[in-house]
Structure 1
Amino acid sequence: MRAMSLRLRLFLVILPPLFLVSILLGLWRFAAAQETSEELFDRRLLAGALAISRDVAISGGDALSPSTRRLISDAGGGEVFYHITGPGGVYVTGYAYPPRPDMPVSRELPFYYFANYRGEEMRVMRLIENRSIDTLTGDSVVTVWQRVSDRRAFARGLALRAVGLIAGLVAALALIIWFGVQIGLRPLNDLEAAIRRRSPDDLGPIRRAVPHEVSGIVSTLNRLLGQVQDSFEEHQAFISDAAHQLRNPAAAILALAEALPHVQDRAERAHCEEQLADAARKSARLSEQLLSLERLRYDANMGMEPFDLDKVVEDVCRAFAAKALSCDLDFTFVSSKARLSVLGNSVLVGEALINLLENALKHGGAGMTTINVRTSSDTEGVMITVEDDGVGIPPDKLSTAFRRFSQLQHGEGTGLGLAIVGKVMVRHAGRVDLVPSKKGTTFCLWFPRDTPA
């Protein structure tokens, strides 16, 4: 399944809130336009009423001045109608019947109200002033009104123009965001192109300048490339060392196999056959250890399950006992009385123990007489202890002893036994310790105790 592009993701993250703000702004602008138009038109009604009242006082109701006519004519907000009565309620000028209010009219201030007039809703303003018209003096009532539909249409036009402007701005901003994100992501596209142009053998760090927001990704990628390069170099070194180590046993087997048909003496032939079998066993053991190392390096799905450590150690010691006794060695195994539960792979743990025992057998020296194996536990974990009275390993040589294909002295080993032991213990979150002893070598394999969930 293909993931959404970063450009589209950013566009969808930015644009919906922008649309929401635009909608809210448009609603606010529509309400504000209506409120503003109502206030402006009410002031226009007041201005018209004052102008009409002035003209009536000057002309005695005979005529309105041109400026007043222009003011009350249709000028965007709809036509203004008017009605004037003089002192005593005498009709002066204007339309015959004005809209009537449903409530008492204030005499001190201009009074605004809504009313129906000939089937239409009207906004009405009534102004009462003391005036002298001809020889009469008293209250003069000026009533002006305007269609509400005209007002609302005018306000709607203003709001629609504002909404159109907002929509245009949002559309322009959307285009800016769409292409702006593309421009902003150009360094990532350049980085992708630079990585694509690399050859498979180029695992060096990426040194291209990138924005701060993606520098962490590049740093992580550089660290991964460094780990891949280290792993590749280590693997190449392992293959080279393995080829070198396998060359000698293979050459020995080939030489013995070619010489065997030409040997006529029975005793010498039997000796050659024994040498051939021994060389084959060494070669098979070396191949098995090499495969074990590779499996420990790359097989992350090895079965890890609880098992009884005593049972595994006992099985290994039973199989190894005949070889130890044939070398005239005292070989003992002391089992722990308690059940030692370990979470791990029993085959790998057995392989580690076999390598320790064979390492002691091959490198213990001619003076070695005993090999002792025991299991025990403490509050945090369980242990396998392998002890011999051979030549021993100096503490300052321990790192060399655990290095692959390395030997402290020339012998029959392959230099892989302790390396396998170290890898197995790392896989089981344990450790291998060299315990100080007066004579010989004592290794302790420590495993964390398996705690039931």
Structure 2
Amino acid sequence: MPRTPSLRVRLFGLILGPLLLMALVLGYWRYQVAHDTAEELFDRSLLSAALAISRDVAVSGGDALQPSTRELIGDAAGGEVFYHATGPGGIYVTGYAYPPVNGGPTVEDRYAPRIFTSLYRGEPVHVLQVTERVTIDNLTGDATATVWQRTEDRNAFANQLAVRAAGLIGALLTTLAVVVWFGVQVGLRPLLDLQDAIATRSPDDLSVIRRPVPVEVRGIVRTLNRLFGQVQGSLDAHQEFISNAAHQLRNPAAAVQSMAEALRDADSPDERSRRLRELVEAARASARIANQLLSLERLRHGSADGHGEPIDLCELVREACAAAGPAVLEAGVEFELMTPPQDCTVRGEPVFLAEAIKNLIDNALRHGGTALTRITVKIGCTDGSTTVTVADDGVGLTPTDSNAAFSRFSQLSPASGSGLGLAIAQSVARHHGGSLRIDPVARGASLTLALPACADAPAARDA
């Protein structure tokens, strides 16, 4: 079975994953902002240096730069600053020789600051050039100050700023990850406490969980409580079934033992023969009760609900009547089967359906009383439903007797049998999505087993 990550790891990933993605996006954005901001600051620094150099050239007449200007050039951010100054007529005044040349288009406003990139001694540089109108020793003309920095130095400084910002974001993300990890652990503590509480229960303790839990877990607790209730109900039903089965099997088992002992002590062949017949009859009754109990238990687990093989109900009822017929006729009771002209097809389990029909016939025979003279089995087939009705003219049975008649181990009047026949028939009906009912009749009893008709039932047969 594949292993799945713990809830703690999943929550940690779900919370931290989007934050990590957001941190990456924010880090990239912060890098771009840092780079652009650094470029703007570097250009402003170069502009300040160029203006200061141009001022000193005009003030000193081209002799030297003031100490404040040299300090400004030395403290400029973005790396070492190079400069070159010319006076009126393009005369070299001060700075480095051979400044970088602007290979780009000429700017219309010659007195506006010009920023461009070029090469200086084989290295790319960022250049800012300022031209001003100045007068030096009664000579008036344009003085040009050119300052530049290595592009590599500027990028390194910008990258350093970006790395510091990324480090700050990483530290914050790490701190947040630690907080989330332990926060999830604390948040899941009620679940772990609930697990411990359930683990300490004994196998027999299926009582309702009343432990306070967070709102998000209440649905799980309600489901567990409902499951515990269903399991407890199933266990109670099993216990009741075992108790009833033990009670019902005790008398037949005792009767078989008693008859076996009587057979052993029989004085004459005639008595021995009589005792033997009684023993066989008691053994058959005991086997029938056991089979009925097993049928009830099998029906209690699972539900067909229309599943199973298509069955010709008329043929099935004929076979059930043929099996029950000898006992009915031996009791001196008339037995009649009435079938419709068309086929009646249902979907289900033939063993269970045959058992239900036999139980209905056996119930009429056993509980019909001394007035019983006739048992009729009638099959009805209408659109969407098929019915099997077992009617007799014996002791009456009304719909108000349904609860007692269909209860297990229950009988309306003392008679032979276990009281399981109608309970089994009703379980079979429900098992197949149908029902068993007691019909209101003027005389005797009439029980109808209703089943849903099979959708692919064949057409009417020849009469």
Per the TM superposition, whether the score is higher than 0.5 is yes
Contact 2:398 2:439 (8 Å CA) reproduced: no
Q: Which residue of 1 aligns with 2:158?
A: 155
Q: Which secondary structure state, in structure 2, belongs to the residue aligned with residue 202 of structure 1?
A: coil
Q: Does the residue aligned with 2:377 lie in a helix, a strand or coil?
A: strand
Equivalent positions of 1:5-404 (< 5 A) are 5-102=6-103, 103-105=105-107, 106-298=109-301, 304-404=308-408
Asked whether 1:425 is paired with 2:424, we answer no
Structure 1 counterpart of 2:299, one-letter code: L
For residue 441 of structure 2, the aligned residue among 437, 442, 445 is 437
- Distance in 2 between residues matched to 1:132 and 1:339, nearest whole Å: 125
List gaps (5 residues or longer) in structure 2.
458-463
Give the Å deviation of 1:170: 2.3
**Counterparts of 1:258 and 1:224, CA distance in 2:** 50
Bigger shift: residues 326-335 or 161-170: 161-170
Question: Cα distance, 1:317 vs. partner?
Answer: 0.8
Q: Distance in 2 between matches of 1:171 and 1:313?
A: 78
SS at match of 1:242: helix
Measure, in 2, the Cα distance between the counterparts of 1:52 and 1:311.
Answer: 119
Deviation (angstroms), 1:23: 2.1
- Distance in 2, matches of 1:60 and 1:339, equals 126
Percent identity over the alignment is 53
8 Å contact kept, 2:310–2:348:
yes
Q: Deviations over 1:177-219 (max 9, x none)?
A: 3322222211111111111110111110111111111111110
Of 13-22 and 121-130, deviating more is: 13-22
Once the two structures are TM-superposed, the CA of residue 75 in structure 1 deviates from its matched residue by 4.3
Preserved CA contact (<8 Å) 2:399 2:439: no
Can you list the C-alpha shifts for 1:355-386, whole angstroms capped at 9, x where unaligned? 11111111112112211112222222222121
Q: Higher mean Cα deviation, 333-342 or 415-424?
A: 333-342
Distance across 1 between alignment mates of 2:22 and 2:125: 35
User: Taking structure 1 as the reference length, what is the TM-score of the superposition?
Assistant: 0.95
Q: Distance in 1 between matches of 2:374 and 2:267?
A: 41
Q: CA deviation at 1:60?
A: 1.5
The runs of at least 4 aligned residues of structure 1 exceeding 6 Å deviation read 300-303
Q: Structure 2: how far apart are the matches of 1:305 and 1:132?
A: 116
The amino acid across from 1:342 in the alignment is V
**Residue deviations 1:289-337, cap 9 Å, x none?**
1111111123669982222222211110111111111111121112233
Which deviates further from its counterpart, 159-168 or 229-238?
A: 159-168
The Cα shift of 1:76 comes to: 4.1
- What is the distance in 1 between the residues matched to 2:303 and 2:453? 21
Q: Secondary structure at the match of 1:386?
A: strand
Deviates more, 1:212-221 or 1:373-382: 373-382
- What is the Cα deviation at residue 268 of structure 1? 3.9
